[in-house]
Structure 1
Amino acid sequence: MYNINPSVDRGVDNTDSANRTTGSILERLNKRNKDRQNYNDIRTEQRNKAIVQLEDEDNFAQMFAQRAQEIMAQIKNITDSAIENKLIDPVTKADLGRLFSNVTIEIRDLQNYLTSSTIFLTEFKVKSCQMELNEITSLCEQTRAKLIPKKKFGFSNRNANQKLLQNSKTLTTKLNDNKNFEYLNANKTIVWTLCNRKDEYIMLSRDEVDEKDVTLSNLKNCFIELQGHPGSVQASHLNNCILLCGPIMRSFFAENCQNSTFALACQQLRLHSSSDCRIYLFVSCRAVIEDCKEIEFGNYNYHYPSIDSDFTKANLSRAINNYTDVADFNWLSPDTPSPNWRLLNNCSPNWYGELDKFKNKNIL
C-alpha cells in the first residue's frame, strides 16, 4: 500500500508557498498604489499652488495697473486745472502744492505695495513694475517743477545766494564722493543706492536708513552695515561681500549674489539666482529661494545699540522666527529635503572680529 503522507505534506508546502507569493504580490501592488497616490497628491498640491500664485499675480497686476492709472489721471487733472486757472490766484498755487503732496503719498504707497508683493512675483514682473513706477515718479517731478517753479533770487540777496550756492556745491561734492544716494524732492526723503563699489567698508546709521528703501548693486569684496530699520532692501550682484542689516520693515529681495554673507531681519525674504551664500536670518514668514544652490541658513545674530527699539519700530516680534522654514521653488518633493539649502551648525560669527579682519586686509 502506498504511503500518501509525503504527497499530502508536499501539497501543504505548495499551498504555503503560494500564499506567500500572493501576499508578496499584494504587498507590492499596495506599495505601488500608495506611491501613485502620493505622486497624485503632490501633483495636485503643485497645481493648486500654481493656481493660487497665478491668482495672486493676476490680482496684483490688476490692482497695480489700476492704481498707476489713477495716479497718472491725477497728474493730468492737476495740469489741466493749472492751465485753466493760469496760476493767477495765490490760493491755486497752494492747492497745487497740496495736490502734488497727495500724489507723492500715493506713489509711495504704491511702491510699498510693490515691495511687499515681491514674495510671489517673478523677477521680470518686479523689474517692469518698478520701471513703470519710476516713470510715474519722474513725470510727477517734471510736472511739479513746471507748474510750481522755484523762485529766482535777485541781486538784493546776493550774499545769501552765494552762501546757498556754496552749500549746494559742498553737498554735490559729498554725493559724488560717496556715490551713496539719490535725493527725491517730491517727499523730501533719501533713497540710498550703493553701487559699483569694491574693497570698501560702508556704514549707514539709523538716521540715514530708518524707513528708507535701500538698493545695493554691483558690490565686490565690501563690508556693509545698515544700522536702523530700513523700509526695504534690494541687493543685486554682490560678490564676496558681508552685509549686516538691522530689522527691515518689509522685505529683503536679492539676486545674483555669490559667495556672500548676510545677517538679516525682515518680514519676507526672497533670494534668486544665487550661490554659496550664508544667511543669518530672522524672518516672520517662510523664506523663498529660487534658482539657487549652496545656500546656508542660521539664526540672526547681528547686534548694535538700540537694535531692540528697531525691532519694535519695524513691527517684528522676536518670539517668531521662521529661519528654518525655507521654500525652494526648484524642489517640489515634499518628502525629500532640497539639496540647494541647509542649516548651519550652530555657528555664531563675531562680526566685529570679521570687520577687523576686513579692515586689516584692505588697510582701511
Structure 2
Amino acid sequence: MENEEAALSSNPNPNLLVADPSLQKKRQSMLDRLSNRHQTRLDNSLTRRSAEFDSSSSPSFESTSTFLSHFSNSKSSIESQLAQCQLCDPTQVKSYLDQISSSIFDLEKLVAENSYFLPSYEVRSSLKTTSDLRQSLEFLSAKLLPKKKFSFRNKPTRKDPIAEPKEEEKEQEPEKKSGFQVPDSPGFWNKKGEILVHNFKGSEVGEFSISDLDSCEVRLMGSVRALFIHRLRNCRLYTGPVTGSVLVDGVEGCVFVMASHQIRIHNAKMSDFYLRVRSRPIIEDSCGVRFAPYCLTYKGIEEELREANLDEETEKWSNVDDFLWLRAVQSPNWSVLPENERLGLVDISRSV
C-alpha cells in the first residue's frame, strides 16, 4: 500500500490521473489517509503536552517522600503553635486551642486521604504522631483552661431507667482507657434503651462524643468534623458524613453505619460496620467484626456527602488493616458481611 501511495504521489504525468477516474479516486483516497495520519500525530502531541502540564501544575502526594516532607512540615508547625499558645493572651487561649485542634484534624485528614499508597508502617507512624499531637493539645487545654465541675456517673449495675442522668448532667470528666481519649465535647452520655437523635445542620459542633450507651439507637444527620465512640453495648448508630476521623473503642454487639475519611476501631467484638471511607479502616484488639458498604439515606444526605468528598464509593470498606495481625494471610479477626445478612437501605428521615 505504501509503495502504491508513493507511486501515486510522485506520478510524473498528472494528465493521466485526470484521464483515468480510477487513478484519480485512488489518489484522493491516498491524500485523505495522509491527512488523517498527520492530524492524529498532532492530536497525540497535544495530549502528551497537556498531560505534562497537568502533572506539573497539580502537585500530588502519591510519593512517600513527598508526603513525609509535607507531613513533617505540618507537624513542626503544630508543635510551634502548641509552644506559642502558652505565651498568648489568656482571653484568647480558647480560640487559639480551637485553631490548633483544626490543624491537627487537617493533618489527620491528610493521612486518611493519602493512606491508600503509603506503606503500612508509614500509616501507623503518621497516625501515632497525630495521636500524640492530640494528646499534647488535651494536656495543654487542661493546664490553660479552668476545669469544669463534674461528677462520675458510671453505674452500669443500675436498672432503674427513671434514675438515669438528665441531659444537663451528661458532661463528665474525660476518661482515658486503653489509650483512648474521650474528649469533653457535646454528645450523648450514659443512656440506656433510648432513641437519640441529633442534627448537625446549622450548628458549629466540631467534635461529638458518644459514650457509655446500652441498647440505644443513635441517629446523627448533617456533617461533623470528628466522632468519638466509647463503650457501647447492643447499640445501633447511623451517621451522615464525618469530614475527619471516627474513633471507636470498647463496643460489643453493635451495628454501625458510618461515612468518614478515616475510621479506627479498637477493642470491638461481634459488631457490624457498614462504611463509606476514604482510607483503609483500621482495627486493633478486635474480633468477630464484619464489614459491608454504607447503606444510609435521609433528606439532603447526597449533597452532604458530596461536600465532604464522600459521595463516591471507594470500596475501601472491604480493605481492612488489622494492625496486630502481621501475617501475610487473611486476619481471622474480621470478615466481609455476607450479602444475604446485610441491612437494606436505612432511611432515618422519618425519625425526625
Q: Which amino acid aligns with 1:205?
A: N
User: Structure 1 residue 178: deviation in Å?
Assistant: 5.6
User: Structure 1 residue 201: deviation in Å?
Assistant: 0.5
Report whether the alignment pairs 1:311 with 2:305: yes
TM-score, scaled relative to structure 2: 0.58
Task: Give the 3 Å change call, closer, same or farther, for CA 259–340 of structure 1 in structure 2.
Answer: same
Task: Give the 3 Å change call, closer, same or farther, for CA 289–55 of structure 1 in structure 2.
Answer: farther
**Higher helix fraction (1 or 2):** 1
Q: Which amino acid aligns with 2:225?
A: G
- Equivalence for 1:339: 332
- Equivalence for 1:66: 80
Task: Give the 3 Å change call, closer, same or farther, for CA 137–248 of structure 1 in structure 2.
Answer: farther
Task: Give the 3 Å change call, closer, same or farther, for CA 191–131 of structure 1 in structure 2.
Answer: closer
User: Structure 1 residue 176: deviation in Å?
Assistant: 4.7
Q: Which amino acid aligns with 1:177?
A: E
Q: Which amino acid aligns with 2:145?
A: S
Question: Within 2, Cα distance between the matches of 1:115 and 1:255?
Answer: 18
Task: Give the 3 Å change call, closer, same or farther, for CA 69–234 of structure 1 in structure 2.
Answer: same
User: Structure 1 residue 320: deviation in Å?
Assistant: 2.2
| Structure 2 segments unaligned to the other structure (5+ residues) | 1-67, 112-123, 149-164, 173-183
Match of 2:135 among 105, 128, 138: 128
Q: Secondary structure at the match of 2:270?
A: strand
Q: How does 1:54-203 map to 2 (within 5 A)?
A: 64-74=78-88, 78=89, 103=96, 105-110=98-103, 112-113=105-106, 116=109, 120-121=127-128, 125=132, 128-129=135-136, 131-135=138-142, 138=145, 176-177=166-167, 179=169, 191-203=185-197
Task: Give the 3 Å change call, closer, same or farther, for CA 115–323 of structure 1 in structure 2.
Answer: same
Most deviating of 307-316 and 206-215? 206-215
User: Structure 1 residue 57: deviation in Å?
Assistant: 11
- Equivalence for 2:315: 321
Cα pair 2:290 2:334 within 8 Å, conserved: yes
Cα pair 1:211 1:229 within 8 Å, conserved: no
| Structure 1 segments unaligned to the other structure (5+ residues) | 1-53, 80-95, 142-174, 183-189, 360-364
Q: How does 1:280-319 map to 2 (within 5 A)?
A: 280-319=274-313
Cα pair 1:220 1:241 within 8 Å, conserved: yes
Question: Within 2, Cα distance between the matches of 1:276 and 1:123?
Answer: 28
Question: Within 2, Cα distance between the matches of 1:241 and 1:59?
Answer: 41
- Equivalence for 1:264: 258
User: Structure 1 residue 103: deviation in Å?
Assistant: 2.3
Q: Which amino acid aligns with 2:271?
A: C
TM-score, scaled relative to structure 1: 0.56
Cα pair 2:208 2:224 within 8 Å, conserved: yes
User: Structure 1 residue 316: deviation in Å?
Assistant: 1.8
Cα pair 2:297 2:347 within 8 Å, conserved: no
CA deviation profile, 1:98-152 (whole Å, cap 9, x unmatched): x5686255244245257657972289847733531432662699xxxxxxxxxxx
Task: Give the 3 Å change call, closer, same or farther, for CA 137–275 of structure 1 in structure 2.
Answer: farther
